[in-house]
């Protein structure tokens, strides 16, 4: 199974996690509280992977890996904040359109990563499709301050993935790099907990009784989203280790296609659970974006 297939499966799982994020973040959990639990859970659960391979990666790679993990949690805070402001099917594609462009620049200078002709065509098509998906959510603009959170999200995700790719390129144990990176997530959770206001919200959440949404409570929905996100993250990182971090990031366009399908189904079938703005005109634009992304994936296979 090549890295393109692995990355595509990863982004399907991320789409499930993104829908869950939209259901939970807002009235249920504060962005910093949610990011804390994600970082905490990520760091703790990663320890279960130790039997698969875990060794010392050296101080230099450790520092870089921990910074990558911390940047990832910071990106989550900005992501969850932006999700509170706008619909997930609009916010997430725009972030994904910006992120590969930033990674393209970072990877060129930090990793000396250059794309072939077909790979560059694929990159442009997928990124363009991602932007169109985000911009096709009606005439309403994202506006401020949401756009700032979107830019910061893309920036910190890009830095996190590029630094992690650097560590993969300089160490031959996939699970060692992955586990140490997740300990960076855990360190970020500790930093968040040290902030009085954030700690107060976290403790308040822990003391409160779980709210119920239909047949699933907040905790069960959270676990569902984190399970999908965790498996998706492992597959995405494995794809990054095998292939180009720029192109794996660009393949997030498939993530947005999956996200569009899932949010459309929920809006049509279960409007009380999730309500997104969908019209024929919007769907036409998104279908065009899907065609671009599909052509981009095809061009990527040619590369």
pLDDT tens column, 26-79 = 555 688 998 999 899 889 989 999 999 899 999 999 999 999 999 999 999 998
Interacting residues of 165 by C-beta distance below 8 A, sequence separation 6+: 107, 111, 240, 241, 245
Distance CA 284, CA 88 (A): 18
In this prediction, residue 109 carries a pLDDT of 92
- What pLDDT sits at residue 219? 65
- Residue 213, classed as helix, strand or coil, is strand
Q: Is residue 278 scored above 80 in pLDDT?
A: no
- Which phi and psi angles does 193 have, rounded to 5°? -65, -25
pLDDT in tens, 145-157: 778 888 999 999 9
Q: What is the mean pLDDT of residues 74-99?
A: 79
Residue 106, CB-side half-sphere exposure with 13 Å CA sphere: 24
Q: What is the predicted pLDDT for the residue at 147?
A: 82
Residue 215: predicted pLDDT: 44
CA–CA distance, 112 with 14 (Å, rounded to integer): 28
What are the structure tokens assigned to 132, written together?
């169109």
Q: Please state, in angstroms and as integers, the Cα–Cα distance from residue 176 to each residue in 55, 161, 242, 251, following that order.
A: 6, 16, 15, 25
Q: Mean pLDDT for the chain?
A: 83
Say if residues 213 and 29 touch (Cβ distance below 8 Å).
no
In contact, 89 and 133? CB cutoff 8 Å: yes
Burial category of 111 from C-beta neighbours within 10 Å (exposed 0-12, middle 13-18, buried 19 and up):
middle
Judge contact between 42 and 230, C-beta under 8 A. Answer: yes
pTM summary value: 0.83
186-235 confidence digits (pLDDT tens): 999 999 999 999 999 889 888 875 554 444 456 677 777 778 888 898 99
Instruction: Identify the top-confidence range among 53-67, 88-102, 109-123, 266-280.
Output: 53-67
């Amino acid at each position: 199974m090549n890295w393109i297939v692995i990355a595509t499966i990863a982004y399907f799982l991320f789409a499930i996690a993104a829908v869950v994020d939209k259901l939970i973040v807002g009235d249920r959990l504060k962005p910093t509280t949610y990011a804390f639990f994600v970082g905490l859970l990520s760091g703790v659960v990663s320890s279960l992977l130790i039997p698969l391979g875990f060794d010392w990666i050296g101080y230099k790679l450790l520092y870089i890996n921990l910074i990558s993990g911390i940047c990832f949690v910071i990106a989550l805070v900005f992501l969850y904040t932006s999700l509170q402001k706008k619909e997930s099917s609009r916010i997430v594609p725009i972030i994904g359109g910006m992120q590969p462009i930033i990674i393209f620049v970072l990877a060129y200078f930090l990793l000396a990563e250059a794309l072939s002709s077909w790979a560059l065509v694929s990159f442009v098509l997928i990124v363009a499709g991602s932007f169109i998906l985000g911009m096709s959510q009606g005439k309403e603009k994202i506006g401020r301050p949401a756009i700032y959170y979107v830019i910061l999200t893309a920036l910190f995700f890009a830095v996190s993935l590029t630094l992690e790719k650097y560590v993969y390129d300089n160490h031959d144990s996939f699970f060692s790099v992955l586990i140490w990176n997740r300990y960076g997530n855990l360190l970020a959770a500790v930093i968040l907990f040290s902030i009085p206001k954030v700690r107060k919200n976290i403790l308040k959440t822990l003391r409160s009784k779980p709210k119920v949404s239909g047949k699933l409570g907040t905790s069960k929905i959270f676990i569902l989203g984190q399970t999908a996100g965790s498996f998706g993250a492992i597959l995405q990182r494995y794809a990054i280790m095998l292939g180009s971090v720029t192109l794996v990031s660009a393949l997030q366009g498939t993530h947005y296609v999956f996200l569009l399908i899932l949010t459309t189904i929920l809006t049509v079938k279960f409007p009380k659970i999730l309500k997104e703005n969908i019209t024929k005109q919007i769907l036409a634009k998104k279908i065009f974006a899907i065609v671009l992304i599909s052509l981009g994936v095809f061009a990527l296979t040619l590369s």
